Amino acid sequence: MFNELKNLRDKAGSFQKGDPRAGPFEVIARARDYLWRRQDSLTGHFAYQWQTNVREKQRMMTTLRGYFEREMVIVNSTAALQQFRNIHRVGDKIGGEGRAKDDRVISLGMAVVGWNDWIMREMGYEGRTYQREHRPKEEVKQFTVAEHAVVSFLNKQGIKFGGIT
């Protein structure tokens, strides 16, 4: 699978901009790889492919559950919500019981971990919080000549107003 995605990505780069045959390949060309790293690793070594062992699956599913319970992720797929009902934890095993499918939930879990480990961290480093991104742009108050004279007089008297200079 990994090699085939790499081949498709290489083929996507061979089309000229505006070529009508490039349509489906534009999606592949924009896909980003998830670089997996062991959580307990002190070095910065990464791997292209995710290792889905018991510990990583537990981390992925508990991260998804935390995001879902705190309403930080909204699931719009009714099929995925149906699969959520089939997910159970028995000891260390988390997944669908019997023949119940869990592929949509696992995919959502992988997406949430990718968000949590990479994108949210980058946004935190850049100071891009929800509050900062969604607050209206602050406009500078333009004072009239009379207002400016009053504020200047009060400032000279030692009377300060918050937000007014």
DSSP 91: T
* Mean confidence (pLDDT) of the chain: 81
In the numeric block, the tokens 């990505």 are attached to: 9
Inter-CA distances, 34 with 62, 104, 115, 119, 125, Å:
19, 18, 10, 11, 19
Inter-CA distances, 93 with 51, 56, 59, Å:
16, 11, 12
pLDDT digits (tens, 9 = 90+) for 6-48: 787 777 777 777 777 777 777 677 677 767 776 667 777 777 7
pLDDT at 129 over 80: yes
pLDDT at 118 over 60: yes
Considering the entire predicted model, what is its pTM?
0.60
| pLDDT score of 73 | 92
| pLDDT score of 77 | 92
pLDDT at 93 over 70: yes
How many angstroms separate the most distant Cα atoms in the chain? Answer: 79
In this structure, of 3-7, 105-109, 122-126, the range with the lowest mean pLDDT score is 3-7
Domain ranges of the chain: 52-129
